[in-house]
Every structure is written in structure tokens, then in C-alpha cells.
A and B are shown apart, each in its own frame.
Chain A
Amino acid sequence: MLLLILKRIGLGLITLFIVSLITFVGVEVLPGDACTTYLEREAYGAALDACIKRLGLDIPAYERYLDWASNVVRGDFGYSLSGEMPINEVLGPRVKNSLVLASVSILIGIPLAIVLGIITALWRDKLPDIMISTITIFSMTIPEFISATLLILIVAIWLGWLPGIVIIPSDATFYELLSNIILPVVAISMIMTAHMARMVRSSVIQVMASDYVQMAILKGVPYWKMVFRHVLPNALLPAINVVALTIAWLLGGVVVTEVVFNYPGLGRLVIESISNRDLPVVQALAIILASIYVGINLIADLMTLMLNPRLKSLQIRK
């Protein structure tokens, strides 16, 4: 078991190494370098030389990669070009903001999705299922920039209950943040919850039709006991991996929502740094987002392994 965990971690590290190589090489093969792209028309003479010197572009690429990589391992991503400040300082508040947004969405969205999924499955084709399924399919199909804009229009402008865009100082307390992020959380949860509820629904329906559930009924197990002991543990197991992917997506992929609400998270930073041609920041973000995906998927796989007796004993036997 321990060997397996180590093996998986090793594989994750190799993935990250490859990602770092690809981003580094990608940046290298682009025409021009960090300085010319950043300085644009002023990229000549002393300014260019100074920039090259400052970024160390005059040393060979592999040395720069090693240099950069060893700094990254120590947690230092170097300097951003546009802000001329350490990337860590640029990233810090963004990571925090994204974490807050993601964790609130997860805390609300995932339990809600599971409950809705179970209800729709157990009352399949009855009124609760028809109602909830209609709503989930609706919120799945509306693109988030439309639902987010509509939310702003109704809640912020017509009703005036909540601020339409998020303006938070970098030293805002968690509570201050919270009142600001209600609308983004709702916009994100609509899509996320709908997708996940559909998945849980079909998974529960599949398990309800299995031989072992029929067996439990014929054994005289009361309905709710059967649902909790025989159905849910088996039906929710495949949900773990979907939850993991959703979490990773929440941390770096909710670009549209962040842009609509002007929310200073990681997703918007990706867009900003790309349009500013701030290549060091792009590199840093690629590594960070890759680590998030690798890390969360690793945790999800290990959890599935622990919770599924079938996989567990398979591993032990090996």
C-alpha cells in the first residue's frame, strides 16, 4: 500500500517535471524573448540590455531552466515583469481568493448535489425528480456568463441586495470576503451542482437496479437502511473522482465567472498575465495549476483505493 502511494507520488512528480519542461520550452521557442515581448517597441539599446541582464537571458537556456527549476522547488518563482515585484507576492492574495471561492462553493455545492442526485434517483420519474431534473438541466445549459450577468442584473441592480462586482482590499477579512462572494458562488454552484447531481442520479439508479439491491429487498432490509448501507456507499464511490476534477476546475478554471464579477482569483490572473505578456507569471501559474490537478487527483485516487475493498485487496495481494 505504502509502495503504491510512493509510486503514485513519484508519477505525479514526473508529470510536473514534464509540464515545467513544456512550459519552459514553449516560452523559449516563441519568437523573441521575455524582454522583447514585454518592452515591445522600446526593446532596443540600453533598456533591452538591462532587461536581459536583469532576467539573466544571456546565459544558456538549460542553465536558466535548472536555475528556475531549483528556485521553484524552493518555492521562489522569481520576478514578474509588469509589476516588477516577486511573483510570490502577486500570487499570494490570488491563491487565497481562489481558495475562499472554491471552498465556499464546494461546501455548498457538493452536499447539495449529492442530496439532489439521491432524491431524483429515489423518486425517479416522479414529481420531485421531474422538477429537480428540469431545473438542473436548465442551469446546466445556460452558459455561465449569461447566468452570472442575469444574477447581477436581478440581485445587484434591480433588488440592490448585494454588490454587483467584487471589490476587496488585499487585507480583507474572511467575513468581508464572504459577503462579496455570494453571487459568484451562486453562479458557479449552479453549473457545478447540476452536473454533479446528474452524475450522482445515474450512479444511484444504476446501483438500485443491481442484483445486490434486489437481494437486500428480498432479505427484508427496510428501505432507508437499504439505501444507506447497500446503495449509497457503492453509488458515491465513482463520484469521488468527479468531485476532485471539479475542485481543480474551481481553483483555476472559473475564468468567465471571475471576469464577469471582477473577482481577483487565479483564473483571472491567467488571462491578465497572458494579455500582459508576463511570461514568468504564466510559467509560474502553469506549474501551480498543474500541481493542483496532480495533487487533487492523487488524493482522489488514494481515497477511492481506501474506500473500495475490491481495489484495496487487489493491491495487497500484489
Chain B
Amino acid sequence: MNEIIESVKNLSIGFNSQKGKQISILRNVSTNIKKGETVGIVGESGSGKSTLALAMMGYIKQGLFPLKGKCLFKSEDLLKMSSRQLEKIRGRKIAMIPQNAGQALTPNLKIGYQIDEALKLHTDLNKKERDKKISELLNKVRLPSPETMAFRYPHELSGGQQQRVAVAMALAGKPDLLLLDEPTTGLDVTTQAHVLELLRFIAKDTGTSMIYVSHDLGAIAQVSDRIVVMYAGEIVLEGPARKILKEPIHPYTYGLLKSIPKLSLAGLPASMPGSQPQPGSINEGCSFYDRCNLATDHCKKNSPDLEYIKELDTNVRCFNHKELINQNNNLQTSITKKSNNSEAIEVLKLKDVSISYAKQKFFDQLLNKISDQNPTVKDINIDIKKGETIALVGESGSGKSTILKSIAGLLKTKDGQIKFEKDRILSSDLKKRNPNDLRAIQLIFQNPDESLNPNHTVEQILSQPLKLYFNLSGDELKKNIIDLLKKVRLGEFYMSRYPRQLSGGEKQRVAVARAFAAKPDIILCDEVTSALDVSVQAAVLNLLQQLKEDLGTTYVFVSHDLAVVRAISDRVAVLYQGRLCEIGPSQNVYKFPSHPYTEVLLGAVLEPDPDIKPKLVAEDIVEEKPPEKGCSFQGRCPRKIGDICNSEVPPWQIGENGNAIRCHINIDELASLQQ
């Protein structure tokens, strides 16, 4: 158990800047991987975690080069090997499971061929034995019908299945060490939990060591024995998983854990100020100095070394770590939201809304209607009250973004009405809406990189809605822009910046400011925090909440992340395949009894706590289309009672908590089943 199989010694990796300066993105990293151990490497984007992981396979990305140090695999330095020698090690001794299996499988080659390739390279089996081995491997990663799976192309598989194929491929060479680079990022919650469970099983079954790289402390907590926390290219904390997660003694890790929204906690997570420094910008002192609330003058001038704390078996890079010992109780706190100030006035009402993506047939085009018996989104009835935050949650394909687009007028509805301010029907055609209605409903997109015009300065971006809706110009326009920037906590000097000169969090703030520029009544938020790092996400959530409390805006908040939704929303609507399953006040939806689908979703959430294991109650099958009859969740429901689920649409039942559930099982019975 104590045999070290790979050891990184004082590794620095960097690149030459345009000014000819050497800039390091990994600085003096040392760590050991023991046999049979799973090490989680965690950090936010730009922390150097992927660079470190790839270096452990002797792979340095183009443009980068090692500045000093070694990567010793069984006492041989991978960074000094020829590509011939590396080919013998990669796939055979160290194998990789990539982040996005959909893009990491070669599109023109069948699954079977790609696994066979690894077998041919790394084993001495003959053709017949290899064929047998392929179906064995596919079976081991629990893919359905492994015999036919081998003859399929990567694009014919779902995301979760592709990830399983990548695992099978990595196992083909019987490696001693598995490298996993964000293997579950981008998968749906339930799929993610299933893949993690598979990985845990494989680690135990084969005794392979694993390096698990992720930004997601929830996933890391589920698999790791030991955790390495990276910040700005350095290891800042390293130790046994339980100690790191329960007693983090580095202020960065402490803040990171506090900034993660948790299912068990209502209210918003605390945010960390600032963002990670750019590579090359730190000259002296601690790299976390700017964001640290324990920082002293000593930290500004001197950079701390990794210090070993015996009683916790932990290495920490902080002068003041003692102040954090025994602070762990504070991890389970959050900022309480101001009580729901929603008045009983209805601002938006979705009535029997159905939306179809089906192509219009020729005659339907003439008659300007859509005849689709089984539309993507069907029978949506939601009343949204002024000043509330209503969240739509569900996995990919649940129709949540589709509904948002329809409210914004970007997508035509098939049936039903969207009513604004009591009884005024909003046309489903954007061109027919009047300018004031357009102003009243604003949209914030998931990815600010794509929603902000890269050729416009922040001033230009923010002046557009002000000019369009309020005809402002000159000093008044400028004053309004500065006010808006102040609202989203950005200084006046940001006006002349271009989006590329801003960090991810700052860009999203600009996007938020742009939405608020129109003085809207309703803001539609489409996965607004999904592209952000955890610590930045908390800050954006807090900002949105603050703005809402000040201005009384209504949010329709779409997210796949149940913990984020728990933190921000007043009311939650759970969707599956474009049909509502459950709707109610958020504190009640997160309590039982729930709709079986809500139960599945809640069970699959990964918490950054090794003691809370996900509960896998349903298979992670992917359904391409909603069923034509009956309950939308019939295909995956763990509590299915029989034919009635297939034939009849379940009735709405209202629980004593006030959450409405659409299920054939009696609500009291559901409660007792879920106890």
C-alpha cells in the first residue's frame, strides 16, 4: 500500500511570454501517488491542475515546456523520455480518461476498433481473445448489450455511454495508474453519480491508483483518499480527504468550501472576493494575499512554504493556518436571504403552454399552425408573482431553456398563452411585441464570452439598452452607465475595457448590468452561473439576490444545479421531458414527499462531504423523446406502479407543505415510501 508509483518533484512548467519573459503556470509542485490510492486534484480554472495531470503522463501541451523538476514514474523521469518510450507507458502503465469523451473518441472509428487498438498496442492477445476482451470490458463498465455496442460509432451513444467507453478503453491496457481529467463534468447529475460510482467500483476491484482532477469538490469528495488543492499553479493544501473537507486549514480551501451551495442549507453561500491572479502577475508574497482575510503585512512580502502539520497529516502553505484550526463549525453556515418580499401580484402567467420543435409541414405553414401530437414542452401552467425567484430545474432535454426562450419571445409557442401583468397576452412572435414589453423582459445568458460582443467596450455594451429604451445620450447616458456598474460592484474605469480584458465573473457582472439597464420587471436567467468558478458563482448569486432585494425584480432562474437553485430560489418547478413534475416553495420541494423524479435528482447530488453518499435510485437511461401517453417519467421511474403510468397522465396532488406533485401514487403513500 505504501509503494510510491509516481512522484512529482519540484515541477515547474511555463511558457515564454511575448515580451520574452518566462512565465510559469506550475510552480514547484511536488507530490507522490501511492499504489491503490485515489488522489483528487482540485482547483478553479487556471490553477494548473490539468497541466499537472498531463505532465504526469509525460505530456506537455503545445507552447508549454518544463522549466525544472521531474515526473518520476517508477523512478524513471517521464519528461526525459523519447516518444518511443512514452508510447510504451501511455495506455499500458498510465491511462487517461478524458473530460469530454464525446470529443475524445475519434468520430470515424467504431467503439470496438478504438478499444481493440488499445488492446493490440498493450497486450499480446490474438484476434479472438481480443474480441472476447472487448465485450468483457464493455460489460465491466455496465454498457447495455456489449456485443452490439462494439459496432457502433461514438456519436450514436449518449454522453454517459461515451464516458463509459472511455473508461473501458483506459482499462484495456491494465494500467497501474488512471488519470481522470474532469471525467464527469458536462454530464447530467444522475449520469454523473452513476459514472462516479462505476469509477469507485473499478478502483476497488482492480487496485488501480487514480488521479482525479476536478473543479467540483462534490465529485472529489466521493472518490478521493487524499486531496491536493491547487491555487495559481501551486499546491496550497494537501492531506487526507476527510481532513481537507471537514477541517480545511488553508484560507482558500476554507473560502472555497464555504462558497459551495449545499442542499442541506437554505440561503446563499458566502462568497470570496476577487479572482485568481493571472500567471506571471505574482512577484512576491503569497499568491492568495489579495483575497485572503487572514493576510498580514508579512504575507505581502514573503511567500509561505508548504508546512507539514503532524496532527492533521496535512501540508499547508499559509503563515496563519493556526487561526483556521477548529473553525469547522462555521463551514455549515450561509447568508440568509431577506424574507420573500413577493407581493401577491401576478406578473407573468404561463397558461397551458406547449412548444414544439417539429418542422412545420407544408400545409401547416400555409395555415400558420403546428400539428405535433407530442410536442417537446407540453401543458406548462405556472403563475409567477412579482418579486419572487422561480427556478426551473431538470436535466438536459427537460425543456427548461425552451420555456425561457418562449417567454422571451425567441421561440413560438404551439398552444397556450403567456400573459403579462394580469391579463395582457404576450404575442409569441417577437416582432409583434411592443417595445415596452420587450424592455420589461430581459435575458441573461449562460456564457458571457458568447453573449457580449467582443468588439464593444463595456461602455458600448451598456449604452445600447439605455439608448434603445430610454433615448439617453451625453452626460446622462454616462451617469447611468456608471450607476449600473456601481450596482454590479464594478468601478468606473471598467467602461473603456473590452470583454477579453475581464475575468469570467466580471464579464457575467457586465451581462447582469446590461439586463438591469432596461429597468426590467422580469429577468430570465439561463444557467447564469454554470460557466463560472465556484467562488465566483457565489459572488454572482449574492449580487443577483442583492439587486432583487433593492429593485424588486422577478427572476425566472433556469439551472441544472439543484444546490444553486436551493440557494437562490423562492419557488421551484421540476421538469422532466418538457412536462412539469412538481412545483412548490423551495424549502418544501427539497423535503419529502417529492415526485419520484425529484427524489432521483436530489439523491444524485454530490455534496462536498465524504459522509454524504449519493443515492442512486433510477437508471441513467437517456430518453430522446417524451412518451406519447401517460406520465412523462414512466421510462425511468423507480416507483412505477403499473399500466396506469403508461396510459394516463397523472393528476396534480397538493401536499400539506404546499408543493404540488403530479403522480399516480397517493401523496401520503409517497411520503411513507420515501421515509
Q: Which of B75-109 contact A (CB under 8 A)?
A: 83, 86-92, 95-96, 98-100, 103-109
Known: A211-B104, A309-B155, A313-B156. A219 touches B95 (CB 8 A): yes
Mark each residue of chain B from 39 to 58: 1 if its CB lies under 8 Å from any CB of chain A, else 0.
Answer: 00000000000000010010
- B103 and A210 form a contact (CB under 8 A): yes
Contacting B121 at CB < 8 Å: which of A217, A221, A309, A310? Answer: A221
Does A140 make an interface contact (CB < 8 A)? no
- B96 and A219 form a contact (CB under 8 A): yes
In the assembled complex, the Cα of A230 lies from the Cα of B98 at a distance in Å of 16
- B90 and A310 form a contact (CB under 8 A): no
Does B289 make an interface contact (CB < 8 A)? no
Does B59 make an interface contact (CB < 8 A)? yes
Q: Which of A285-318 contact B (CB under 8 A)?
A: 307-310, 313
Mark each residue of chain A from 205 to 234: 1 if its CB lies under 8 Å from any CB of chain B, else 0.
Answer: 000001111111111111100000110011
| Shortest distance from the beta carbon of B95 to any chain A beta carbon, whole Å | 7
Residues of B near A233 (CB, < 8 A) are 108
| Shortest distance from the beta carbon of B501 to any chain A beta carbon, whole Å | 25
Residues of A near B166 (CB, < 8 A) are 215
- B109 and A219 form a contact (CB under 8 A): no
Residues of B near A213 (CB, < 8 A) are 106
- A219 and B107 form a contact (CB under 8 A): no
In the assembled complex, the Cα of A229 lies from the Cα of B95 at a distance in Å of 20
- A220 and B103 form a contact (CB under 8 A): no
In the assembled complex, the Cα of A213 lies from the Cα of B156 at a distance in Å of 20
Does B305 make an interface contact (CB < 8 A)? no
- A218 and B90 form a contact (CB under 8 A): yes
| Shortest distance from the beta carbon of A306 to any chain B beta carbon, whole Å | 12
Contacting B90 at CB < 8 Å: which of A217, A230, A234, A308? Answer: A217
Residues of A near B99 (CB, < 8 A) are 211
In the assembled complex, the Cα of A166 lies from the Cα of B89 at a distance in Å of 61
> Smallest CB-CB separation from A230: which chain B residue?
B106
- B106 and A234 form a contact (CB under 8 A): yes
Interface size of A by Cβ–Cβ distance < 8 Å? 24
| Shortest distance from the beta carbon of A313 to any chain B beta carbon, whole Å | 6
In the assembled complex, the Cα of A296 lies from the Cα of B568 at a distance in Å of 58
| Shortest distance from the beta carbon of A251 to any chain B beta carbon, whole Å | 30
Residues of B near A210 (CB, < 8 A) are 103
- A220 and B106 form a contact (CB under 8 A): no
> Smallest CB-CB separation from B624: which chain A residue?
A317
- A309 and B83 form a contact (CB under 8 A): no
> Smallest CB-CB separation from B57: which chain A residue?
A218
Residues of A near B118 (CB, < 8 A) are 219-220
Mark each residue of chain A from 180 to 217: 1 if its CB lies under 8 Å from any CB of chain B, else 0.
Answer: 00000000000000000000000000000011111111
Residues of B near A211 (CB, < 8 A) are 98-100, 103-104
| Shortest distance from the beta carbon of A143 to any chain B beta carbon, whole Å | 34
| Shortest distance from the beta carbon of A271 to any chain B beta carbon, whole Å | 44
> Smallest CB-CB separation from A232: which chain B residue?
B108
Does B313 make an interface contact (CB < 8 A)? no
> Smallest CB-CB separation from B88: which chain A residue?
A220
Does B153 make an interface contact (CB < 8 A)? yes
Residues of A near B98 (CB, < 8 A) are 211, 214-215, 218
Known: A212-B104, A219-B118, A233-B108. A310 touches B92 (CB 8 A): no
Known: A214-B104, A215-B104, A234-B108. A221 touches B156 (CB 8 A): no
Residues of B near A222 (CB, < 8 A) are 87, 121
- B169 and A219 form a contact (CB under 8 A): yes
- A223 and B169 form a contact (CB under 8 A): no
In the assembled complex, the Cα of A307 lies from the Cα of B109 at a distance in Å of 11
Contacting A220 at CB < 8 Å: which of B90, B105, B107, B156? Answer: B90
- B91 and A309 form a contact (CB under 8 A): no
In the assembled complex, the Cα of A217 lies from the Cα of B96 at a distance in Å of 10
| Shortest distance from the beta carbon of A4 to any chain B beta carbon, whole Å | 16
Does B173 make an interface contact (CB < 8 A)? yes
In the assembled complex, the Cα of A220 lies from the Cα of B92 at a distance in Å of 8
Does B122 make an interface contact (CB < 8 A)? yes
Residues of B near A310 (CB, < 8 A) are 107, 153, 155
Mark each residue of chain B from 183 to 217: 1 if its CB lies under 8 Å from any CB of chain A, else 0.
Answer: 00000000000000000000000000000000000
Known: A219-B91, A220-B92. A212 touches B107 (CB 8 A): yes
- B155 and A219 form a contact (CB under 8 A): no
In the assembled complex, the Cα of A216 lies from the Cα of B96 at a distance in Å of 10
> Smallest CB-CB separation from A213: which chain B residue?
B106
Known: A212-B103, A310-B155, A313-B156. A220 touches B122 (CB 8 A): yes
Residues of A near B88 (CB, < 8 A) are 220
Does B117 make an interface contact (CB < 8 A)? yes
In the assembled complex, the Cα of A221 lies from the Cα of B106 at a distance in Å of 13
| Shortest distance from the beta carbon of B624 to any chain A beta carbon, whole Å | 10
In the assembled complex, the Cα of A105 lies from the Cα of B413 at a distance in Å of 55
- A229 and B109 form a contact (CB under 8 A): yes
Known: A211-B104, A234-B106. A219 touches B59 (CB 8 A): no
> Smallest CB-CB separation from B169: which chain A residue?
A219
- A216 and B108 form a contact (CB under 8 A): no
In the assembled complex, the Cα of A105 lies from the Cα of B392 at a distance in Å of 61
Q: Which of B497-533 contact A (CB under 8 A)?
A: none
- B173 and A220 form a contact (CB under 8 A): yes
In the assembled complex, the Cα of A42 lies from the Cα of B23 at a distance in Å of 84
> Smallest CB-CB separation from B156: which chain A residue?
A313
Residues of A near B122 (CB, < 8 A) are 220
- B91 and A220 form a contact (CB under 8 A): yes
Residues of A near B86 (CB, < 8 A) are 220
Which of A210, A220, A308, A310 has the most chain B CB atoms closer than 10 A to its own CB? A220
> Smallest CB-CB separation from B122: which chain A residue?
A220
- A221 and B117 form a contact (CB under 8 A): yes
Beyond A212-B107, A215-B105, A234-B106, 10 additional pairs, beta carbon < 8 A: A211-B103, A212-B104, A218-B54, A218-B59, A219-B95, A219-B169, A220-B121, A222-B121, A309-B153, A310-B155
Give 9 pairs: A residue, B residue, CB < 8 Å, sorted on A.
Answer: A211-B99, A215-B105, A215-B166, A217-B90, A218-B54, A218-B59, A220-B91, A222-B121, A234-B107
Q: Which residues of A contact B (CB under 8 A)?
A: 210-223, 229-230, 233-234, 237, 307-310, 313
| Nearest 3 pairs of A and B residues by beta carbon | A220-B91, A220-B90, A211-B103
